[in-house]
Amino acid sequence: MQAYSRDLRERVLRAADQGMPHQEIVRVLGVSLATIGRYLKQRRETGQVRAKVIPGRPSKKMEALQAGLDAQLRAFPDATLEHHAHYWQQSQGMQVSRWSVGRAIKRMGWTRKKRRWEPPSAMKKREPRGERR
């Protein structure tokens, strides 16, 4: 589960500061009463409401996998996740699961199109209308 955005946290606090009843904040902003209380307490104690750091070490396999998987995806575009895990073990000597390969591919932004993996599109984003120069 991901933390609420900083913007939502600030809107909750702003609504509480303006005197909006907590039940109304729950209904309008979709947060729980406990969340409102936690944000108010955190601001009172620390002066800010930042999301807490998730405990634990980052995965060592994931860093290596993301660094070297790009070339493997290009070399074997039709391979399944199981095959990519097997190729990785053969080439790098590190055993990874198909789920780890899938998470790494997703974090890299690659998508599965028909029978092959493709990197994210290199198309430029359009400028919003009315802001063209």
Tens digits of per-residue pLDDT, 28-81?
999 999 999 999 999 999 988 888 887 887 777 888 888 888 888 888 888 888
Task: Based on the fold, state whether residues 15 and 65 are members of the same structural domain.
Answer: no
Task: Based on the fold, state whether residues 64 and 113 are members of the same structural domain.
Answer: yes
Task: Based on the fold, state whether residues 16 and 65 are members of the same structural domain.
Answer: no
**Residue 1 is assigned to a structural domain of this protein:** no
* Number of domains the chain contains: 2
Range of the domain at 114: 60-118
- 125/23 Cα distance (integer angstroms): 41
pTM: 0.48
